[in-house]
Structures are given as C-alpha cells and as structure tokens.
Structure 1
Amino acid sequence: MESTRRKLIDLLSRYPDEFVSGQVLSEQLNITRSAIWKHMKELEKDGYVIQSVPRKGYRILKNPDKLSANTIQWGLSTNWLGSRVIFEKTTDSTQVIAHHLGREGAQHGTVVVADEQVKGRGRLNRTWYSKKGDGIWMSLILRPEVEPQQAPQLTLLSAVAIVEALEEITDLAFYIKWPNDIYVHDHKIAGILTEMQAEQDQINYIVQGIGLNVNQNREDFNMISDNEPTSLKIETGMAWNRRPLIQVILQQIERLYERYLKEGFLPIKTMWEERAYRLGQPIMVSSKNQNWQGIFKGIDQDGALIVTDQKGRDHVLYSAEINWRSGGHE
C-alpha cells in the first residue's frame, strides 16, 4: 500500500505543472481509477494539496509541511536508509525508541523521527533542546559489519554527511567540532550521539541520534548557554520545511556509508579534516588532571584527536575536555 502511494507521488512529481490523467496513473500503477482516488484522499490527509479536474486528471499544488512516516518516505531516494520510518509526535527520546527496536531485531536502516522530544539528550547526558516543530530529532539503527572499535568512525562519517547536506541547500560554510558537533559562525547547530550494543568482536547494532536546530528563533535559546546554539532560521533569515532536510541528510549518510564500506575510512577522514573546526589552531587540553596547550593537527585512522604539544610531540586523544577558544570549556 505505502509503496503504491510512494510511486504515485513520484509519478505526479515528475510533472509539477501538468495534469496526469487517472487512466495513465491506473496503467502505470496497475490499480483501478477508484483506487487512485482513494490514494489521493489519503495523501490529502498527510498535507498534500492535490487538484483534480475531470477529463484532465490530477496534479500536486503543494507538498506537505508536516512530518509523518509517509511524507518522509515519499521522495526519499535512498536504497535502504529510511526504508522503514517510525514517527512519533512526542516522545521522551528517539534514542530510547531506537534502542528498543534494535534489541527487537529492527532492520538495518530503520529511522526513528520525532516532532518533539521531552527528554532529548546529547553526549555526556547533556540535555538537548527539542521543542515541537522546531528541529530535526531522529535516530538511525545501523548494523555495520565492522569491528566494534571502528564504531566512532561512523560518527565522523555522519558529521561529514550532515555538513554536505547543509551546504547543498544553503550558501553557508559549516564545520565539524570533534567529535560530534556541527558549527556555523562559531555556534553549534547540530549534534550526533552514537551508541553501540556489541559483543567483544561483533556489533549487534548502533543507534545514531541526530539533532539539528532548524526553525528556532534567537529568543528560544535565551535560557541555554551551552555551546551558544543557533539554528538554520537564525543563520539564513528564513523558515525551513524539515521534510526535505531530513531526506537530503539521509541520502548523504547512505552515500558516504556505502563509500566507507567499499573504500574504508581514509576518504571520510580526508573529508572530515577539510571541514574540521579550528584545524591547525591552538587549543587547551584537559586530560589526566593536566592542562596544556597544543595545536589541533587532525584525526587518526580510528577517529581519535591528534594534538601537537609545545615540544612538537603528537598526542592521540580518545577523550579529553577541550577549550577550543578562549572563554571556557565547550
């Protein structure tokens, strides 16, 4: 049923300024004209505005602004990522739902999306501001056939994919702050939280949470000081339809994921470093009860941070508190 409706949307979308007759749709989809009419009514429930004219046929006047599993999948040109979409209007956290689905055997590429999270969280259990309708809050279930120690590479991969997706639709420059944040104009706009269920030598599943600030206004962040957040609306001066944003992000993640499986991490590493926040700049490192200054040199093959100290020695850091610029920890 959903695949038929998805094909129907694809057919109508090919001719945005023309009517497509019921007969043509019936022949293309191998269903009756009465069934076509019923599908149109379901599409209207999801927010599509469809014009129907006798002896001419149907055409789409307006795509939906609202999110649902259906609207996310219609027009999504991926092979497997998003082949199953779970949508919740309000939930505690998409991560919680995705973990439950992962333990129950949900297929690789399942995506959980929420319009609102009331207990959204980021790295180190920090609260993630997830107001209804203002952002993209979603979690991906992945079952990669790689070693557990390679899992951090997938965070870096998705960061590159999100930056490429955002730069595809805006004229802004975005940067990746190690290990999991997306920045624009020195302000955080998105974050990634990757969690894994694994045995010693095998990943059972990975849940990757993505939070992207889209339509918040400046005053929405007045009570939040962490990372001085921003949104696409603040940076571009316009509101955004979240559905196509989700689609382009999923499409970019799938593309890079498949390249990663074929070519390994090196191409991803190169793309990540091209977009790295403050690469080559001095930073302050706090680790093992010591504070020291160094130069951010890049990342190594497993995604760890490489910092060169004042004596020219390289340090590979898997976890540390970093002061990326003067003013305190971020």
Structure 2
Amino acid sequence: MLRDPDGIAALVTQLGDGKWHAGPELAHRLGVSRSAVWKKMRTLEAMGLGLKRDRMCGYRLPAGARLLSRERIQAGLRLPAKWRETDIEVLPIVDSTNDRLLRNPSGTALRVCLAEYQTKGRGRRGRSWWGAYGASLLLSWGVRFTVAPPDLQALGLVSALAATRALARAGFPPPGIKWPNDLVYGHAKLGGILVELSGEAGGPLWCVAGLGLNVDAASCRPLATGMAPISLESVAPDVPRDRNVLAPILIEEWLQAVDIFQLHGFRPFQEHFRDFDALWNQPVVLFEQTGTRNGWARGVRSDGALWFETAPGIREALVAGEVSIRFKA
C-alpha cells in the first residue's frame, strides 16, 4: 500500500484553492527543493489532475480540489446502533481499496476504506479501473457475516441498487444498472462494483464490496469493454459534487440494504431492480470462454441470475461470475 508517496496530498491541498502558486512558494511551504516540486507536478499530471503551468505565475489547478475528509464523512453518517463501531479509513493513495480490506479483515462488523487514487484499481474479470486523483469516489466496505447470506452472488446487484438510491438522495438522476455490476446512463458507464470474499467453508465470511464512481469528468477514460465513460459532472453539472457528502449517504444506503439482504437474500430487491434494469428486454451479446452468443436480456431471477433468451421461449439463467454481457450495437 502507498499512503502518500512524495507528499502528493500535501501538494494538492496547497493547490486546492484554484489559484496560481509559484514554485518557490510551494517549495517553502512543503519544505522541499524547487526541483522536488517540479517532480511532484509531473506525478500529479500522471494521476490525471488538470494541472496548468505558467513560467511567470507557477502552477494552478483550475477546478481546485476538495479532498476527502474522514472527519466530515464520519460526522455525516447516521447509523443504527449495531453499526456504530464502523471503522472508516481515508487514504491519499492505495493499491486498491478492496485489497486493503481483504488484507486486513476486521474483528468488528464493518470497515470502510476510501482513497483519492488507486495504483492497481480493478473491476470484474481482471480489468483495470482508473480514476484521476480526487476526481472519483473510490470506496470499499467490508462486512463480516457469521453465516453466508442466501443468494450471495447477488450482493453486487444489491450494492448497485443502494448506490442508485444514494445518488438520488444526493440530487442526481438515478443511473441504470447493467447486470451484474455496472452503473450506467444509457450505454455509458458511470461506475462499477466489485464483490470479493474471504473465509473458509462453513465459517465466518469476510465480504468486501468496492465501488468506483466517476464524479468529475477528469476521471473519464476509454474503457477496455468499449463502453463510453460518463461522470456525474457531465450528467448533472449544476448538482454539487461533494464527495464528503455523497460518501456517508452511500454507506448508509448500503448498510440498510445489507440488513435486509443478509436475512432474506435478493428476493425483496427483485421487483425494485426492474425499475433500474438497463438490460431489460434489450438485445445483448453474451461473452463466454467458448465464444459469443446473441440473445435478449429478460430480467433477473429471484436469486439475481440473469435470464438470457436465445429464441422465443428458450432461455437460461446466467450467473455473474461465469460470463460477461454487453449491449448489442
């Protein structure tokens, strides 16, 4: 894990007001040489920040920067008594928020990890996930189940539903959900969810769900799947995009969903999922190890599996870990 190599978070804090800052001024404030400041700026640019340079004025982040604050996130949470021992960690840089929690399972019921930047962020099927420093919401939550909930494979869908509710509460148009884990507006990807498990058969289960969400347009890069990326900034430019407000809402909605899910599985969410199902009755392409097949998405089963129809009346249930589904062009 990388906490803050080269003091990047300290530098971004100095540039956070959106004004011009001369190199010597920054060097003095940070206690480093002007050469060190120049190298840090190169690192910032590689992390996707829209840095501006001027030989006379120095350096500037035109959009400014509002960094994550553990104190503000903690203060914004309204949790029931059973979740009040939640451990929240905010890091400037990490390899992966999911990996962070998988390496350090908690003795308490819940842990949350957020980061400004990931060096090895990833999604399903080993694909990488990238977000510009400070321009994404990179959040993972880990919860300990003493007994595996029913329909565990549907936890990604439940997490996605929680995210749609959270975004609606924050004033954004709720995105659709592309089975099994993508948040979309139309055919453009806003974010995704990755669920990973750790534990022994029959014993307690440590379950980690990670969310990557494009908040500002700076985080939008072409995706390996061919889907276009989209950000909250693009969808609703006039809605405030304060990640310190959005993060506690996401955590609250997810915990409410988990309380229901661990007792009843996916069934209570099935009807609600229909309202956000981006694939409902859409022509799709199924990617599997043996090749591709064309068909139609016909909703999800009560355990979260996708109904895939290849001909009228001929359909099969697909499990998320086995296949990949894409919109048909």
Instruction: Report the CA distance between 1:106 and its aligned residue.
Output: 3.7
Question: 1:205-216 to 2 correspondence within 5 Å?
Answer: 205-216=206-217
Q: Displacement of 1:243 after TM fit?
A: 0.6
Partner of 2:251: 250
Counterpart in the other structure of 1:29: none
CA distance in 2, matches of 1:82, 1:66: 24
Deviation of 1:163 after TM superposition, in Å, equals 0.8
Q: Secondary structure at the match of 2:94?
A: coil
> How does 1:83-94 map onto structure 2 within 5 Å?
83-94=86-97
Distance 1:81 1:182 in 2: 28
The equivalent of 1:221 in structure 2 is 220
User: Is 1:304–1:317's contact at 8 Å kept on the other side of the alignment?
Assistant: yes
Q: Which residue of 2 aligns with 1:272?
A: 273
Q: In the aligned structure 2, how far is the partner of 1:182 from the partner of 1:131?
A: 18
Please tell me the residue identity of whatever aligns with 2:94.
T
The 2-side partners of 1:233 and 1:98 are apart by 29
Deviation at 1:171, TM superposition (A): 4.8
Residue 230 of structure 1: aligned partner: 230
1:82 and 1:153, CA in 2 relative to 1: closer, same or farther beyond 3 A?
A: farther
Distance in 2, matches of 1:114 and 1:287, equals 33
Q: Structure 2 vs 1, CA of residues 223 and 163 (structure 1 numbering), >3 Å: closer, same or farther?
A: closer
Larger displacement relative to structure 2 (261-270 or 304-313): 261-270
Larger radius of gyration: 1
1:210 CA drift (Å): 0.9
Q: Deviations over 1:34-68 (max 9, x none)?
A: xxxxxxxxxxxxxxxxxxxxxxxxxxxxxx94312
Deviation, structure 1 residue 306: 1.0
The CA distance in 2 between the partners of 1:157 and 1:295, in whole Å, is 22
Give deviations 1:193-215, integer Å, cap 9, x for gaps. Answer: 10001322334201111111101
In structure 2, what is the Cα distance between the partners aligned to 1:246 and 1:266? 27
Aligned pairs (5 A) from 1:34-73:
65-73=66-74
Q: 1:189 and 1:266 mapped to 2: Cα distance?
A: 26
TM-score (norm 2): 0.72
Give 1:192's aligned amino acid.
I
Query: TM-score if structure 1 supplies the norm length?
Result: 0.72
Query: What residue is the counterpart of 1:31 in the other structure?
Result: none
Counterpart of 2:89, as a letter, is I
Letter in 2 for 1:233: E
Asked if the contact 1:282–1:296 (Cα under 8 Å) also holds between the matched residues in 2, the reply is yes
Is the contact between residue 176 and residue 276 of structure 1 (CA under 8 Å) also seen in structure 2?
A: yes
Name stretches of at least 5 consecutive residues in structure 2 with no aligned partner. Answer: 1-64
The question of whether the paired residues in 2 share the 8 Å contact of 1:73 and 1:83 is answered with no
Query: How big is each residue's C-alpha offset from its partner over 1:244-295, in whole Å with a ceiling of 9 and x where there is no partner?
Result: 1101111111111122244442111222222111201222223462543322
More relative contact order, 1 or 2 (CA 8 Å, 6+ apart)? 2
Q: How much has 1:223 moved relative to structure 2?
A: 5.2
Distance of aligned partners of 1:125 and 1:81 in 2 relative to their CA distance in 1, 3 Å threshold: farther
Write the distance in 1 (CA, Å) between the matches of 2:301 and 2:98: 28
Structure 1 pair 161–134 and aligned structure 2 pair: CA distance change class (3 A): same
**CA deviation map 1:113-135 (0-9, x unaligned):** 11111211111121111221101
- Taking the aligned partners of 2:261 and 2:302, their CA distance within structure 1 comes to 13
Q: Over aligned residues, Cα RMSD in angstroms?
A: 2.3
Residue 3 of structure 2 corresponds to which residue in structure 1?
Answer: none
2:152/2:265 contact within 8 Å kept = no
